Amino acid sequence: MHSTDRLLDAERTSPSAEPRVLHLSRGGTSVVVDLDATPGPAIVHWGEALTGSTPDTLRSLAVAARGQRVSGGLDTTPALTLVPTGAEGWFAAPGLEGHREGAGVSIRLSLADVQAGEHRASLALVDAEAGLAVRVEVRIGPSGLLHQRVTVRNAGATPYTLQATHPTFPLPWDATEVLDTTGHHLRERSPQRRDLGIGVHVRESRRGRTGADSTILLAAGRPGFGFERGRVHGIHVAWSGNHRVLAERTTTGDAFLAGGELLLPGEVVLAAGAAYSSPWVIGSWGDGLTALSARFHDEWRARPQHPRRPRPVTLNTWEAVYFDHSLDRLTALADAAASVGVERFVLDDGWFEGRRDDTAGLGDWTVDTAVWPRGLHPLVDHVRGLGMEFGLWVEPEMVNPDSDLARQHPDWLLRGRMSLPPSARQQQVVDLSQPEAYAHIAGRLHALLDEYPIAYLKWDHNRDLVDAASGPAGGARVHEHTLAVYRLIDDLKAAHPGLEIESCASGGARVDLGILDRTDRVWTSDSLDPLERLDNQKHTGIVVPPEMLGMHLTSPVVHSSGRTVSLGLSGAVALLGHFGIEWDLTSLDDTRRAEIAEWVALAKRLRPLIASGRVIHVDGTDPGIDVRGVVGADAASAVFTIVQTATSAAYPPGRVRMPGLDPARAYRLRVLIRDDDAGQSALEWAESDIVLTGLQLAEVGVRPPVQRPQQAMVVELTAEN
């Protein structure tokens, strides 16, 4: 066994001998592993940094976590190990399952080796009888996120079919309320809560992509936990294919979260000597969801590949022109975009061969010469001549049966039967795990990027992977396809430095840290309805930092919902993310364009704050009022929005708080934007030169304006010298 100063070695000669304990600590988080727990290594603490701990107190902590024998139970009560299995006497959800053609189902792992440092460890577990070698990687990131990954190697002589591997994250016993999200197209990541009693709560996605109805985070905490307070732990699976997360409380006094890839039957069969590594499962915790979320944001921003330059204000053409592509119309739209300060112009669906609607052309990634006789060069040159970047919509994983690709290579389509799977948006899926299919799609994308100065790809994915197999009577292909997508994106970025990619999937159906580790933002939802977006952006943003969340101004009549909304509401809701526009600006007069230009200028001024600050969601507000903001990392400035979602319970409404600032500093409040005041008298503080301390703002607050439903106010706070 390899040891460091963080690994406490002690010969264990009897159950009463002092245990060997591993203490990892970083970013305000401690993880304590009892290496001698029965039947295997177990995390006995994940959470608050245990400052001041000594080797003796850490050993005592491990002993204090061990359960005693009880009547009617096993002679030794098993612990929640890193990878629990049934042969160890574990009756709850296992951490590893598999078999050898229906035999060899028993797994009992023992610790063989530990390599550890201050904030990471690698534990080798073996089952010689089962012919398995397992390595569990545990590391704490710079902001205190706990990362776990399990690698399973077939050390036997016959193939081993892996069914599941799910690393475990222990919960405090008082974490009895669960929060997750669900949804559908146009309404992704709607929150839902429930009690966590004895038993298991499981969320799965079998859609072949993350899924609009999947949960971005599975969290459990003390009843009533909110954004501002209440201890809570949560996990996220950084994987863009099928996955499973679960929360369970057992009758033996253990509570835990677990997650990983959901493997379809026979999807991973390990030949002798072959290995499988699970996706990283990432856990965070905090006193309130804001603290939990900040760990995700801080660590994601610290990655070397995280986008550093100011996020370009983006105009996407889809809701402006749909499939009606013409050079004159699009150059006029580009002129209008440049006039309001747009920095990136993205040509959406409809530019390629045969694509006059959504029934044909997918897979044939060549410019349609009937619409673009000189290619895209005239439009690209015009856009770049206006000082804007050019972006292009693609959907590389998809194909229409009415396309040259599908007619020439029907064997490249994912299917499990002779007949095609049910279609969605009149399309099927290209099996990118096939080398020839991969090479063809990669070649077309590289050719586009070589021919045109494309700075940005809007990478769409408008179809779940239904019956996704390698051909009639073939094997499941979601796992291999997902890895191929990752490889394709990585290859494109390596060959075209500076290229940025957005993950879009019918809006927000592929939002996870697996895809976001190699892309630069997500399209949060196809719904641009500001009221619908409030919950969506709030709960997507628990995991994803705001500068990676696409948030756009919408036209006055929202295309997805038909709701009529004000520019003030649309702007306020879009302001706290990667700002953009989804609107036919050529239809507006000069006055309206000037108003949009003001919002664009404000977004540009605030984007350094948005890209570096802490996101704040305020609990306990009037049910008809939403208060949220971003506070600078140095707490010198902040911006908050006060959105009226419905009529307030009080008239005028009671005070709202603005937490997250330095309690000892004084802040000057300035109203930046305010919708029509609905004929009410002036709000005195908004018309005054007002200064409040951070403590006063957090604990006492200010009176919000009387606003009609669907109106908003934007407030800037600046610390006094």
Coil vs helix vs strand at 358 = coil
Tally Cβ neighbours within 10 Å of residue 239: 24
- Owner of token pair 């030949």: 271
Separation CA 68–CA 76 (nearest Å)? 7
Coil vs helix vs strand at 331 = helix
Query: Which two three-digit tokens encode residue 476?
Result: 């499941």
Q: Which amino acid is at 705?
A: P
CB 400 within 8 A of CB 387: no
Separation CA 215–CA 544 (nearest Å)? 13
Establish whether 460 is a catalytic residue.
yes
Separation CA 683–CA 549 (nearest Å)? 33
**Strand duo 218-221 + 231-237: pairing:** antiparallel
- Among 38, 14, 33, CA closest to 22: 33
Q: What is the DSSP letter of 625?
A: E
Order of strands across the sheet that contains 268-270: 96-99, 160-165, 268-270
Tally Cβ neighbours within 10 Å of residue 498: 9
Establish whether 526 is a catalytic residue.
yes
CB 365 within 8 A of CB 445: yes
Query: Which two three-digit tokens encode residue 226?
Result: 């909110």
Tally Cβ neighbours within 10 Å of residue 193: 13
Q: Alpha-carbon torsion 544, 546, 550, 556, what sign?
A: positive
- Among 340, 366, 336, CA closest to 351: 366
Helix (H) or strand (E) holding 617: strand 614-617
Separation CA 331–CA 319 (nearest Å)? 16
Separation CA 429–CA 467 (nearest Å)? 10
Query: CB neighbours of 318 closer than 8 A, spacing ≥ 6?
Result: 348, 349, 393, 582
Separation CA 176–CA 339 (nearest Å)? 54
Query: Which two three-digit tokens encode residue 330?
Result: 């699009």
Separation CA 206–CA 189 (nearest Å)? 17
Give me the catalytic one of 180, 298, 520, 526: 526
Q: Is the peptide bond before 652 cis (omega within 30 degrees of 0)?
A: yes
Give me the catalytic one of 349, 460, 529, 535: 460
- Among 287, 225, 236, CA closest to 260: 236
- Spacing of C-alpha 134 from chain mean position: 28
CB 219 within 8 A of CB 201: no
Active site residues per annotation? 460, 526
